[in-house]
């Protein structure tokens, strides 16, 4: 981001932060289903699929900021050539190796032209940010990623542009300009506040050249006017163009706020209608494209977007997982999953995650506890849905502390080793590394069987190798207290999963499951194989340990 006066920087920090701190009050959890703790159980409304789901609804996706992943030219900022050089870390294309994470897809935070470090104020949707490389670099990235079996998911910001976009520059120049109606203008200040803070939040109307325009998140991010068919068509064109250039789908930013109307500023009928229109346009060129919506809100509101988009991030589950792991009780996790499954459209696929670029990092929220971090990662990779991991979570990467919890501290450079440049750059990193770089780095954790990195690699491999884990239904076996246990079923395969959410050892079971010869797919040190017999299986769990068993 170019230098700005301190007051402007503070305003930016506050206003952009408003977007990502929308408070919500989750509805009361539903009553536990019958069969808790070993009974007949409940599938939570999930219908086992008859056919394998498309890749976009069963993938393990890795979110990364190009600026922070790998620098290729020594300027201290990551770029596309640098990312290409690190693809084998993400997936080397060989399922027999164990030195890669094995993810199915990578979600790139905004890579289009923008004046800011974060890229959410796009100034040209047709060009890669010059700080990251060129359009040719992107197409080389797509080719190299696809050669390894990695899909590319782009962060697409359609609610607003940057104020420096030529469309807005023309729109603001005159009431009769060609792009005037591409943005939302008023002759007077309408005084709207953000829908998540309607009484004390900052004014969303901003003055320019004698008129007022609507910018929900910041004056330098003017909202596009999606009542204008030209805008609607242009954003569909942008999406189709990047699919043609090698993208495999999109993470869709701020999906709740496209069209303001009589229904308010969020979740209007017009907004839902556009997302259905957009999705149809994407499917017309790529039927299997990923479309993952960001609706940071409660479960019932998220559910409404499953009529529009095939995948939506589960923010309530992210919070419930952190709370459950910190509190040593899985009841809240199970309740949120049940609520989603009873509220979402039939056959909907959840997108579970732990943290993202707008949130304090998982390891920091869990107090740097190695056991709790292990719990959280194991849960997100075994519950129903298409899981997302934020870069560095596999290392236990902490939040930075160089700017008092600013967004940059959540997006610090990837620590590949413990050197001053961290293996990230030969120059000076654009932002300081997070604390703990000496031990939480790829080199230190590689080849160490007990490291978080090695464990995450194993869990991803188990997830990808199991139809039950990647797309199966869920039946709760133990959902209250420190042992969270459930079975996942898809077709003929059933997998039993047990998580110990306490620091002490625990006995799991007995569980009323049927098996003649259970096979251990994954077990932490100190976690035993299943013993007993049909209807009476149990295992011993080490503190914070996980066991995953295929029931033959």
CA dihedral 95, 100, 101, 105 (to 10 degrees): -70
| Options 223, 253, 445, 524, the catalytic residue | 253
Number of H helices, E strands in the chain: 16, 20
Question: What is the rounded CA–CA span in Å between residue 438 and residue 152?
Answer: 31
Q: d(Cα 246, Cα 145) in Å, to the nearest integer?
A: 10
CA distance 321 to 335: 11
Q: How far apart are CA 383 and CA 325, in angstroms?
A: 14
Q: How far apart, in whole angstroms, are the C-alpha atoms of residue 35 and residue 91?
A: 40
| The pair of three-digit structure tokens given for residue 534, joined into one six-digit string | 């049909």
Q: CA angle, corner 28, sides to 479 and 19, nearest 5?
A: 105
3-state secondary structure 490-552: ECCEEEEEEEECCCCCEEEEEECCCCCCCEEEEECCCCCCCECCCCCEEEEECCCCEEEEEEC
Asked if omega into 193 is within 30° of 0 (cis), the reply is: no
Our answer to whether residue 144 is catalytic in this structure is: no
- Name residues whose C-beta falls within 8 Å of residue 270's C-beta, 6 or more positions apart in sequence: 226, 227, 258, 259, 261, 263
Q: What is the DSSP string of 8-35?
A: HHHHHHHHHHHHT-----PPPPPPPPTT
- Among 58, 420, 32, 12, smallest CA distance to 219 is for 12
79, 137, 267, 294: the catalytic one is 294
Tokens 């596009």, residue?
Answer: 224
Helix (H, G, I), strand (E, B) or coil at 145: helix
Q: Catalytic residue at 294? A: yes
Q: Tell me the C-alpha distance between 381 and 522, whole Å.
A: 12
Tokens of 267: 């979740």
**Cα separations (Å) of 135 from 64, 113, 125, 211?**
19, 11, 11, 37
Nearest to 312 by CA among 303, 321, 320: 303
Q: How far apart are CA 30 and CA 9, in angstroms?
A: 44
Name the residues annotated as catalytic.
Answer: 253, 294
């Amino acid at each position: 981001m170019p230098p700005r006066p301190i007051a402007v920087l503070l305003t930016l920090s506050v206003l952009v932060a408003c977007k990502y701190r929308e408070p919500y009050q989750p509805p009361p959890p539903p009553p536990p289903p019958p069969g808790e703790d070993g009974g007949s159980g409940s599938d939570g409304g999930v219908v086992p699929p008859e056919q394998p789901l498309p890749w976009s609804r069963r993938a393990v996706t890795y979110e990364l900021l190009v600026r922070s992943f790998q620098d290729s030219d020594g300027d201290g900022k990551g770029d596309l050539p640098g990312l290409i050089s690190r693809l084998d870390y993400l997936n080397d294309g060989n399922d027999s190796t164990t030195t890669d994470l094995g993810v199915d897809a990578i979600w790139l935070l905004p890579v289009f032209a923008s004046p800011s470090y974060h890229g959410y104020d796009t100034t040209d949707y047709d060009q890669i940010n010059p700080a990251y490389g060129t359009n040719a670099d992107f197409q080389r990235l797509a080719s190299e990623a696809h050669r390894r079996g990695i899909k590319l998911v782009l962060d697409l910001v359609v609610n607003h542009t940057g104020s420096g976009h030529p469309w807005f520059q023309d729109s603001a120049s005159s009431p009769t300009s060609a792009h005037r109606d591409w943005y939302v203008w008023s002759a007077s200040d309408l005084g709207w506040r953000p829908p998540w803070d309607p009484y004390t939040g900052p004014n969303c109307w901003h003055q320019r050249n004698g008129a007022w325009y609507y910018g929900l998140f910041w004056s330098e991010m003017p909202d596009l006017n999606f009542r204008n068919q030209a805008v609607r068509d242009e954003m569909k064109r942008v999406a189709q163009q990047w699919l043609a250039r090698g993208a495999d789908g999109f993470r869709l930013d701020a999906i709740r706020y496209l069209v303001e109307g009589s229904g308010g500023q969020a979740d209007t009928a017009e907004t839902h209608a556009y997302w259905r229109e957009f999705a149809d346009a994407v499917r017309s060129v790529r039927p299997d494209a990923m479309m993952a919506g960001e609706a940071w809100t409660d479960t019932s509101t998220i559910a409404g977007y499953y009529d529009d988009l095939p995948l939506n991030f589960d923010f309530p589950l992210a919070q419930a997982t952190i709370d459950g792991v910190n509190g040593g009780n899985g009841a809240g996790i199970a309740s949120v999953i049940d609520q989603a499954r009873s509220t979402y459209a039939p056959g909907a696929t959840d997108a579970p995650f732990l943290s993202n670029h707008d949130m304090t990092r998982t390891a920091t929220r869990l107090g740097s506890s190695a056991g709790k971090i292990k719990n959280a990662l194991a849960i997100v990779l075994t519950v129903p849905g298409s899981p997302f991991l934020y870069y560095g979570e596999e290392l236990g990467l902490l939040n930075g502390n160089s700017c008092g919890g600013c967004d940059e501290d959540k997006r610090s450079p990837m620590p590949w080793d413990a050197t001053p440049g961290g293996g990230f750059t030969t120059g000076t990193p654009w932002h300081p590394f997070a604390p703990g770089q000496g031990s939480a780095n790829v080199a230190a954790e590689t080849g160490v069987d007990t490291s978080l990195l090695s464990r995450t690699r194993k869990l991803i491999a188990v997830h990808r190798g199991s139809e039950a884990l990647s797309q199966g239904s869920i039946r709760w076996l133990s959902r209250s207290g420190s042992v969270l246990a459930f079975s996942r079923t898809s077709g003929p395969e059933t997998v039993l999963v047990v998580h110990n959410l306490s620091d002490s050892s625990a006995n799991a079971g007995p569980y009323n499951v049927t098996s003649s010869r259970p096979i251990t797919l994954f077990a932490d040190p100190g976690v035993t194989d299943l013993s007993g017999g049909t209807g009476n299986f149990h295992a011993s769990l080490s503190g914070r340990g996980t066991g995953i068993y295929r029931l033959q």
